[in-house]
């Protein structure tokens, strides 16, 4: 990330919300797909704050205390156990040049816009984050995928490997059929 790619930001941490008070900064951030205005306040999501803290582009305070990246990870993880996973995916997508907003349902973590399309078109991709080794119920994921594809969006599974690398998988509709043919009465599978 180049030093002038993103502005230097001053923010205030209130609970797990990051408030940006400078109007000019709000406009700059909003035009690049960061943050949102809620109840008259411009807020960054925790993963956005971690992104800016990671690259030392955010001056974050809580009262008179300065909050650094590690502290923000800790604060965000108290409210959301997947906070670090979300940050890693968010950072990877942003570095690749995508505008990224939080998901709006269907269990998706993020809405991802084609490069250069933010503000012009809706999100093309809905990204589901998953840390390697974490289990996920396929039935729930399958229902979400069906709904997402009906909306014309592409579901993507972002898996965080143990080393922290992000691997993306395009997901398509799959029908899982229960295989009862090779199961004996005890429930064991035999070949």
DSSP the chain: --TTTS--EEEEEETTEEEE--HHHHHHHHHTT--EEETTEEEE-HHHHHHHHHTT-EEEEETTEEE-HHHHHHHHHHH-TTHHHHHHHHHHHHHTT-EEEE--STT-SEEEEPTT-BTTB--SEEEEEEETT----HHHHHHHHHHHHHTT-EEEEEEE-TTS-EEEEE----------TTB-TTS-B--
Q: What is the pLDDT of residue 95?
A: 94
For 101-133, how does the pLDDT look when each residue is reduced to its tens digit (9 = 90+)?
988 766 678 989 888 778 778 888 889 888 776
pLDDT at 28 > cutoff 80: yes
Give the phi and the psi of residue 155 in degrees, each rounded to 5: -80, 135
Q: At what angle do helices 46-54 and 83-95 cross, to 10 degrees?
A: 60
β-pair partners for 130:
159
Task: Determine which of 16-20, 48-52, 169-173 has the lowest per-residue pLDDT on average.
Answer: 169-173
What is the spatial distance between Cα 100 and Cα 109, in angstroms, rounded to a whole number?
10
What is the spatial distance between Cα 152 and Cα 175, in angstroms, rounded to a whole number?
19
Q: What is the pLDDT of residue 108?
A: 75
pLDDT at 182 > cutoff 50: yes
Mean pLDDT, all residues of the chain: 83
| 184 or 131, greater pLDDT | 131
β-pair partners for 37:
42
pTM > 0.85: no
- In the structure, what pLDDT confidence band is assigned to residue 179 with cuts at 50, 70 and 90? low
What is the spatial distance between Cα 30 and Cα 21, in angstroms, rounded to a whole number?
13
Q: What is the pLDDT of residue 72?
A: 96
């Amino acid at each position: 990330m180049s030093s002038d790619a993103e502005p230097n930001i001053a923010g205030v941490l209130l609970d797990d919300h990051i408030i940006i008070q400078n109007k000019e900064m709000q406009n700059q951030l909003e035009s690049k797909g960061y943050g949102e205005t809620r109840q008259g306040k411009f807020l960054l999501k925790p993963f956005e704050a971690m992104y800016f803290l990671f690259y030392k582009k955010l001056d974050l305070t809580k009262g008179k205390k300065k909050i650094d990246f590690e502290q923000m990870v800790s604060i965000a993880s108290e409210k959301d156990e997947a906070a670090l996973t979300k940050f890693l995916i968010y950072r990877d997508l942003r570095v690749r040049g995508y505008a990224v907003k939080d998901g709006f349902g269907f269990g998706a973590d993020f809405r991802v816009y084609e490069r250069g399309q933010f503000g012009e078109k809706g999100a093309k991709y809905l990204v589901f984050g998953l840390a390697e080794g974490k289990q996920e119920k396929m039935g729930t994921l399958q229902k979400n995928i069906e709904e997402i594809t009906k909306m014309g969006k592409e579901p993507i599974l972002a898996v965080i490997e143990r080393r922290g690398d992000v691997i993306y998988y395009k997901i398509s509709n799959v029908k899982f059929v229960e295989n009862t043919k090779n199961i004996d009465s005890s429930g064991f599978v035999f070949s």
